[in-house]
A = this chain, B = another copy of it.
Amino acid sequence: MIVPVVKEILKADDQVALENRAAFDAAGVAAVNVMGSPGAGKTALIMAAVERLSPDVQPGVIAGGVASSLDADRFAARSIPVVQVHTGGCCMLDASMVHTALLHLDLPTLDLLFIENVGNLICPADYTVGADLNLVVPSVPEGHDKPYKYPDMFAAADIAVLNKADLLAGSGFNLGYFECGVRMVNPDVEIFHVSSRTGAGVEPWLEWLLQRLGKRTPELV
């Protein structure tokens, strides 16, 4: 007799993802699942976004990781509601972990929730957490071949935000090759180039994000 344990567990987690989504909808919260390699700049990108929101768009953050609260500390220092989730060694956030984190957030007071996934280009692609949008953050120093080497991650994304674009000059990063790879696995993906450090490109990306999520954009400061 074969017991398909893993399959059943995945199905249960998908059910929790639907519950998370229902909770977001009920509270009027738009949730973005932010994925990328270690050091791609997920935290910096989220920080660049929340710094540019007008006061009537209240952000919140769930920060996933295997250790430390360094990311969560950065948001807490700016009085942004944040929950740090340690995955117990797991290489991604799943819906149940997000569900538990939601118990520690006052969801109806939030408008925009960033779910910062574990730094990893493989595992998070296989799990839905119930977000409205899946966003992947590749970065220039990682090289232009990432969509070819990690196609599932780019296939799972609604939007790819190429970070550290200030390092493009002289890097050998071939934008055409990169974008061709992204569109090969995912013709519908939106691609933006930003530098969280300099701020270049952050506002057009954020404007698109807020429009897509049904949040008013004129509040952009």
Contacts and interface: CB of A to CB of B under 8 A. Distances in A.
B150 A119 contact: yes
A121 B141 CA distance: 16
B89 A149 contact: no
A91 B91 contact: yes
A201 interface: no
- Copies of this protein in the complex: 2
Interface SS majority for chain A: loop
Interface stretch (A25-33, A65-73, A187-195): A65-73
Interface residues of A, number: 31
14 contacts: A38-B146, A39-B139, A66-B152, A67-B148, A67-B149, A68-B149, A71-B149, A89-B122, A91-B91, A91-B123, A120-B120, A123-B123, A141-B141, A167-B167
Given A65-B149, A91-B122, 20 more contacts: A37-B38, A37-B39, A38-B121, A38-B142, A39-B142, A66-B122, A67-B148, A70-B149, A89-B122, A89-B126, A89-B152, A91-B120, A118-B122, A119-B122, A119-B149, A119-B150, A120-B122, A123-B123, A141-B164, A141-B167
Interface of A: 37-39, 65-68, 70-71, 89, 91, 118-123, 126, 139, 141-143, 145-146, 148-152, 164, 167
